[in-house]
Chain A
């Protein structure tokens, strides 16, 4: 079955710097890759997703890149702000499956 690895497990950056979180997946058939943000006391929310027919997707300060050959995808947050501090999860899903396999999570801290 699919296996998703996520690095780093913790990441500390200064406000205004960029943050990059990387994930690798094992099943080359996977075709959907979302990223979720989990804030303390709140439900996890989808922040961006990408499908396998696209190499990059941007939404304001957030971008996701996908390298299908290497089977990895990355989340890029530019101009980080303290409110970006949260736990971020990547996930992958294969065609015909409605289950998401999550990575192990990255705790991002943005210091003012």
Chain B
């Protein structure tokens, strides 16, 4: 069983609010990722990190930002949420020396009204 946790699992908020999706893993993995999953099921990489103080943008442009101050923690923030941000956000991690198995959290489903 993967030791990677996301909170909240579900969030419904109004337009303009600032939100932070939390992701934590206890496996000591250096590499962490955020994927956005649209209703059509496709997974799009929006951010990744190869270690502390390392963050990169993924293949899909996103208005969200991330930070990596601690190895185990990779939060995603939206400064001003909009209805177009409504989606499922999946966090994942893997050990260094990849490619190898990605361990996924259970996801955070965000709805912006």
Residues of chain A whose beta carbon lies under 8 Å from any beta carbon of chain B:
1, 9, 32, 34, 36, 41-46, 49, 87, 89, 93, 97-102, 104-105, 107
Residues of chain B whose beta carbon lies under 8 Å from any beta carbon of chain A:
2, 4, 31, 33, 35, 40-43, 45, 48, 50, 58-59, 90, 92, 94, 98-107
Q: Which residue of A lies closest to B101 (CB)?
A: A46
Complex-state Cα separation, A45 to B41, whole angstroms: 15
Complex-state Cα separation, A102 to B33, whole angstroms: 13
Given A98-B50, A104-B42: A43 and B4 within 8 A (CB)?
yes
Complex-state Cα separation, A1 to B2, whole angstroms: 30
Q: Which residues of the other chain, B, contact A44 by a CB distance below 8 angstroms?
A: 90, 92, 102, 104
Complex-state Cα separation, A84 to B48, whole angstroms: 30
Sample (11) of A-B pairs whose CB atoms are under 8 Å apart: A32-B99, A32-B100, A34-B101, A43-B2, A43-B90, A43-B103, A98-B31, A99-B48, A99-B59, A100-B102, A104-B41
Pair B106/A43 contact, Cβ less than 8 Å: yes
Q: Which residues of the other chain, A, contact B2 by a CB distance below 8 angstroms?
A: 43, 45
Complex-state Cα separation, A49 to B42, whole angstroms: 19
Complex-state Cα separation, A87 to B57, whole angstroms: 26
Pair A43/B104 contact, Cβ less than 8 Å: yes
Complex-state Cα separation, A39 to B4, whole angstroms: 16
Q: Which residue of B lies closest to A99 (CB)?
A: B45
Q: Which residues of the other chain, A, contact B102 by a CB distance below 8 angstroms?
A: 34, 36, 44, 46, 100
Pair A87/B41 contact, Cβ less than 8 Å: yes
Pair A102/B42 contact, Cβ less than 8 Å: yes
